[in-house]
Amino acid sequence: MRKEELRTPCYIVQKEKLEENLRILKRLREETGCKILLAQKAFSMYFLYPFIGKYLDGTTASGLYEAKLGAEEMGKENHIFSPAYKEGEFDEILSLCGHIVLNSPSQIRKYKERIRQAGKSPGIRVNPQCSTQKEHAIYDPCAPGSRLGTVREQLSGELMEGIEGIHFHTLCEQNSDALEVTLKAVEEKFGCWLPKMKWINFGGGHHITRTDYNIPRLIRCIRHMQETYGLEVYLEPGEAIALNAGTLLTEVLEIVENEKKIAILDTSAACHMPDVLEMPYRPPLKDSGNAGEKAFTYRLSSCTCLAGDVIGDYSFDKQIHVGDKLYFQDMAIYSMVKNNTFNGIPLPGIAVMKEDGDCELIRTFGYGDFKGRLA
């Protein structure tokens, strides 16, 4: 079917753009010998895992359910990091994952030998205490008081004995200059252990597939760790894999006026794109401009009871009307993985757009999905 025929709201993942991103990542793998994993927390559309698996080395998980999904649907390398592990889940995690990244000295004492005895590779997430973000503090793992990763002062030779890898994740939607700065901090604080490691994981937050991303500098960073310490290098991008590869199709349900024109949509920032409120940020919208840039400006909002469930102010060349379809862009990442049914708002469907423009509807949701989460 054509995209105009899809029932709204609906996430539409563009396979051609997804493949374009994956080809960039595959070239990086081939040129450097690094390994690249899909960070499922950003994009977990497992219908596409067999396709993604042709280009990447596997998946990384933040907990048991993601670990199971990666093992079942991609079946390649499967890594995990969690700030804490439930004892009752750990044996299953051991059966699913090859790299288990620990977060604290107490976790090393509790789990290191169990991981080694299972023939798996234990790692430690470190906090280099090197913040390279000036915005979005909510996503800064190096912020003061962070629970993510162990600082240098808490590690010792005894604790690190038997640890095979060092993992850090300090970036968010950043270029390779931030990685370069971070690597220097990692070497400064944890360099005494790097020659004893088998692997290093640069984590995520690398916007590798963005047009202005400096790939040559990333390659230099990878090769430096390979050649200086003999390490196998892993990256686990999430956004970069599906960056600009999805849209959220929505319909205008009503237009009201209160100091300005307000279009009420059948999508919601709070329910379908929560990062809009959490970061916050203003999502791109096809054929629109900033408020006042074009002839007609509207505030776009939703049907929830949350007064602040506002997506943003947008302008258009023509007036919009009830029944019009709008296309929010870059909606494959951190969207379907974070959505919810607050207020009984229906979940968007999920579709794939093929190279010829035809759409395949993969999944729809209804009342049963709302009720099934309650009791």
Quick one: DSSP state of residue 291?
T
Q: How far apart are the first and last CA of the chain?
A: 36
Instruction: Kindly state the greatest CA–CA separation across the chain.
Output: 68
Q: Which long-range contacts (CB under 8 A, 24 or more apart) does 85-92 make?
A: 85/111, 89/64, 90/114, 92/64, 92/68
339-344 long-range contacts, Cβ below 8 Å, gap at least 24?
Answer: 339/271, 339/272, 339/273, 339/274, 340/270, 340/271, 340/274, 341/271, 341/369, 341/370, 341/373, 342/268, 342/270, 342/271, 342/304, 342/306, 343/268, 343/271, 343/303, 343/304, 343/305, 343/306, 344/370
CA distance 365 to 20: 29
H or E, element range at 330: none
Please tell me what DSSP assigns to residue 7.
P
The crossing angle, in degrees rounded to 10, of helices 215-229 and 176-190 is 20
Cα 370 from Cα 364, distance rounded (Å): 12
- Tokens, residue 317: 């060349």
Q: Please tell me the distance from the alpha carbon of residue 349 to that of residue 7, in angstroms, as a whole number.
A: 8
* pLDDT value, residue 133: 83
CA atoms within 13 A on the CB side of 131: 15
Question: Distance (Å, rounded) from C-alpha 307 to C-alpha 38?
Answer: 36
pLDDT at 327: 98
Predicted confidence at residue 136, as pLDDT, reads: 74
- Contacting residues for 153 by C-beta, under 8 A, at least 6 apart: none
For residue 318, what are the contacts with CB-CB under 8 A and spacing of at least 6? Answer: 295, 296
Choose among 194, 197, 209, 201: nearest CA to 170.
201
pLDDT by 10s per residue, the chain, length 375: 999 899 999 999 999 999 999 999 999 999 999 999 999 999 999 999 999 999 999 999 999 999 999 999 999 999 999 999 999 999 999 999 999 999 999 999 999 999 999 999 999 999 999 999 877 778 899 999 999 999 999 999 999 999 999 999 999 999 999 999 999 999 999 999 999 999 999 999 999 999 999 999 999 999 999 999 999 999 999 999 999 999 999 999 999 999 999 999 999 999 999 999 999 999 999 999 999 999 999 999 999 999 999 999 999 999 999 999 999 999 999 999 999 999 999 999 999 999 999 999 999 999 999 999 999
Tell me what pLDDT residue 137 has: 79
**What domains does the chain contain, in order, with CATH numbers?**
3-12+246-331+339-371 (2.40.37.10), 33-242 (3.20.20.10)
- At residue 293, the pLDDT reads 98
Amino acid at 281: Y
Count of Cβ atoms closer than 10 Å to residue 51 Cβ: 15
C-alpha–C-alpha distance, residues 245 and 17, integer Å: 5
- Please, are residues 66 and 41 in contact by the beta-carbon 8 Å criterion? yes
Q: At what angle do helices 105-117 and 87-96 cross, to 10 degrees?
A: 50
Grouping H, G, I as helix, E, B as strand and the rest as coil, residue 293 is: coil
